[in-house]
C-alpha cells in the first residue's frame, strides 16, 4: 500500500469519503547547496518517498488537519478558521499546512475550508525535504478543493548561460497559478508563516521533478532543464545515508549564513552572490571582511560545481561527478561550516570503502549524506558506513538507494 492509498483508506475509516488524494515527494539535492537563495544553480531529484494528503472541502471556513503516525495513531490539530490565519497563530507541525492555506488566501485563492488527513514516509529531519513535500501536497489539495487547480506548465526548458538574469516570472493573475508561481507561494508560507528562511530549491524540486531525471534549475531566471539521470544504467547508484541527526531550517545556523550572504552581496554592490564569477572570486574576497569570505567562496565554487556536474550528466559521464560531490562536501564542511560529526563520518567512511564521491545533502547541521557508488561496491560501502557509525557510538544510519522519481500530483 502506497502513501496515497494509506491516506485515502484512513480518511474513509475515520472521516468519510475524500474528494481526492494528492502527494508530493521528498528530494535529494545532487549538488548545489545554499545556492538557491543566492540566485544560483541547483540540481535536485525527487525520491520515491512521499507525503500524501487526502482531503475534502468544507463550507464553514475551517481548516482541520490531522497526521497519521507510523503507529497508526492520528494526531489532530485544533481546527482554525482560514480567515484568521496569521504568522505565529499556529505552531508545530500544523504550521506547515496552515501556512500554505494562509499563503493561498493572501494570493487571492478563495480557500473556504478543508479537512485534510496526512500520511507519509519521507523521514522527518533527514534533510530530504519532508516539510516541503507536505506543503506541496497540501497546496495542490487546497487548490483543487477550491476549484482553482495549479497549471502544470512545461516540464522542460533550456537553462540560459550564467550571464542571463531576466528575473523571476511574475504571476499572471487569475486563480490558476503555474508551478513556478506556486513554488514561490509555498516559499512565502515557509519563510513568513513557519519562520524558516529557505530558498526555492525544495518546493521547485517537489513540484517539478520528473522520473528518471535530475532538475537543473537556474533560480534567478526560473528556467529549468530535465537532465537524464539513470545511475543504474551506468552500473552506479546514489546511496542515501540518513544519519538520523535531525536538523531544522528554523534553527539559527541556516538564517545566519543566509544573512551573511546577503551582507556580502550588499558590500559588493551586487544583487546576489550569483553575480560573482569564479574568475572574480579573489577580487571579491579581497573586498570583504574575513568572516564573510568563506561564505562567498562556497557559493561561487558551488555554482561552478553544479554547472560542471550538469555537463557530465548531459554527456552520460555519471562517474565523473564523483570528485565534484566530494569537493562540494569539503566546501560545506570547511567554508560554509554546516557539517557535523555524523555527516563527516558518513562521507569519510563511504569514500574509504570505495565510493566515487560523497557529500552531505540538504541544509546541513545534520540530515543526510549521499554517496556515488558502483553497484558491485554497494554492500561493502553500506557495511563500512554502518561500522563507522558504531565505532563512533552514533545512532545507526538509515540507508537506501536514491532513484529519481516523479514530482507532485493528484493520485486519486
- Active site residues per annotation: 202
CB atoms within 10 A of CB 390: 12
Give dist(CA 384, CA 171) in Å, integer. 49
3-state secondary structure of 290: coil
Beta strands in 229-311 (DSSP E): 236-245
**Spatial CA neighbour of 7 closest among 69, 77, 81:** 69
**Spatial CA neighbour of 131 closest among 22, 20, 27, 38:** 27
Cβ atoms 138, 109 nearer than 8 A:
no
**Spatial CA neighbour of 155 closest among 409, 410, 379:** 409
Cα dihedral angle (109, 111, 114, 120), rounded to 10 degrees?
Answer: 30
3-state secondary structure of 255: helix
> Within 77-158, where are the H helices?
95-106, 130-145
Cβ atoms 27, 44 nearer than 8 A:
yes
Length of the chain (residues): 412
Give dist(CA 324, CA 178) in Å, integer. 33
Tell me phi and psi for residue 81, to 5 degrees.
Answer: -65, 130
Cα 200 versus chain centre, distance: 8
CA 362, 215, 212, 318 torsion-angle sign: negative
Determine the Cα angle at 365 with ends 363 and 371, to 5°: 70
Q: Buried (b) or exposed (e) across 324-358, using 16+ Cβ within 10 A?
A: bbbbbbebbbebbebbbebbbbbbbbbbebebbbb
Amino acid at each position: 500500500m502506497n502513501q496515497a492509498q494509506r491516506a485515502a483508506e484512513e480518511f474513509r475509516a475515520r472521516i468519510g469519503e475524500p474528494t481526492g488524494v494528492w502527494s508530493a515527494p521528498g528530494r535529494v539535492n545532487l549538488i548545489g547547496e545554499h545556492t538557491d537563495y543566492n540566485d544560483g544553480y541547483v540540481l535536485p531529484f525527487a525520491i520515491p518517498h512521499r507525503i500524501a494528503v487526502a482531503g475534502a472541502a468544507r463550507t464553514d471556513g475551517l481548516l482541520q488537519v490531522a497526521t497519521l503516525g507510523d503507529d497508526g495513531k492520528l494526531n489532530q490539530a485544533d481546527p482554525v478558521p482560514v480567515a484568521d490565519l496569521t504568522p505565529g497563530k499556529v505552531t508545530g507541525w500544523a504550521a506547515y499546512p496552515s501556512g500554505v492555506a494562509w499563503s493561498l488566501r493572501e494570493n487571492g485563492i478563495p480557500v473556504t475550508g478543508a479537512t485534510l488527513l496526512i500520511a507519509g514516509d519521507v523521514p522527518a529531519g533527514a534533510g530530504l525535504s519532508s516539510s516541503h513535500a507536505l506543503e506541496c501536497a497540501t497546496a495542490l489539495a487546497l487548490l483543487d478543493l477550491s476549484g482553482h487547480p495549479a497549471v502544470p506548465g512545461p516540464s522542460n526548458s533550456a537553462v540560459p548561460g550564467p550571464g542571463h538574469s531576466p528575473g523571476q516570472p511574475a504571476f499572471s493573475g487569475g486563480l490558476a497559478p503555474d508551478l513556478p508561481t506556486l513554488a514561490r507561494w509555498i516559499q512565502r508560507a515557509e519563510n513568513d508563516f513557519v519562520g524558516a528562511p529557505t530558498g526555492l530549491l525544495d518546493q521547485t524540486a517537489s513540484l517539478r521533478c520528473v522520473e528518471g531525471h535530475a532538475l537543473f534549475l537556474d533560480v534567478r531566471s526560473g528556467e529549468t532543464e530535465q537532465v537524464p539521470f539513470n545511475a543504474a544504467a551506468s552500473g552506479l547508484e546514489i546511496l542515501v545515508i540518513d544519519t538520523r541527526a535531525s536538523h531544522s531550517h528554523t534553527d539559527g545556523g541556516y538564517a545566519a549564513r543566509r544573512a551573511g550572504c546577503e551582507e556580502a552581496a550588499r558590500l559588493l554592490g551586487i544583487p546576489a552572490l550569483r553575480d560573482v564569477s569564479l574568475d572574480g572570486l579573489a577580487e571579491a574576497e579581497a573586498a570583504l571582511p574575513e568572516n564573510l569570505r568563506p561564505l562567498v567562496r562556497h557559493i561561487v565554487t558551488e555554482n561552478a560545481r553544479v554547472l560542471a556536474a550538469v555537463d557530465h550528466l548531459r554527456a552520460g559521464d555519471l562517474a565523473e561527478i564523483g570528485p565534484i560531490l566530494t569537493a562540494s562536501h569539503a566546501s560545506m564542511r570547511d567554508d560554509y561550516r554546516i557539517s557535523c560529526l555524523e555527516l563527516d563520518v558518513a562521507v569519510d567512511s563511504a569514500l574509504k570503502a570505495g565510493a566515487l564521491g560523497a557529500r552531505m545533502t540538504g541544509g546541513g547541521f545534520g540530515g543526510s549524506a549521499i554517496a556515488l557508488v558502483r553497484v558491485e561496491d554497494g554492500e561493502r560501502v553500506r557495511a563500512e558506513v554502518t561500522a563507522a557509525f558504531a565505532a563512533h557510538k552514533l545512532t545507526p544510519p538509515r540507508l537506501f538507494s536514491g532513484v529519481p522519481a516523479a514530482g507532485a500530483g493528484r493520485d486519486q
